[in-house]
């Protein structure tokens, strides 16, 4: 996967499986094991996407509104806004149980 806004530990913009796992584990270390979930996009969509399957990390938070979730995103990823913020933290309502 290519991400123009983020870099791997080696400074590349192309993320391989190992890079995604490292990023996920870093997030688990920051936010706690019980709050972070790694989900395959095909499992979310209940089918294989047209392009390629990818892994997505979710923070499972309890927010009362989208605005509250956006405020949390801004506080957790300071210095990012617009596309750069949404690239790392995009509030979505899910049913991941």
Number of domains within the chain: 1
52 in a structural domain: yes
Res 43: pLDDT: 74
DSSP per position, 38-88? EEEHHHHHTS--SS---EEEEE----SSHHHHHHHHHHHSTT--HHHHHHH
37 in a structural domain: yes
* Residue 52, domain extent: 17-88
95 in a structural domain: no
Phi, psi of 11 (to 5 degrees): 90, 10
State the pTM of this model: 0.74
Res 55: pLDDT: 83
60 in a structural domain: yes
2 in a structural domain: no
Reported as a single tens digit per residue, the pLDDT across 37-78 is 888 877 776 665 556 677 888 898 889 999 999 999 999 999
């Amino acid at each position: 996967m290519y991400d123009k806004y983020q870099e791997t530990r080696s400074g590349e913009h192309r993320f391989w499986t190992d890079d995604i796992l490292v990023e996920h584990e870093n997030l688990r270390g920051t936010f706690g094991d019980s709050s972070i979930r790694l989900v395959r996009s095909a499992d979310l969509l209940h089918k294989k996407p047209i392009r390629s399957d990818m892994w997505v990390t979710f923070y499972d938070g309890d927010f009362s509104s989208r605005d509250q979730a956006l405020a949390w995103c801004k506080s957790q990823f300071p210095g990012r806004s617009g596309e750069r913020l949404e690239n790392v933290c995009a509030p979505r309502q899910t049913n991941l149980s």
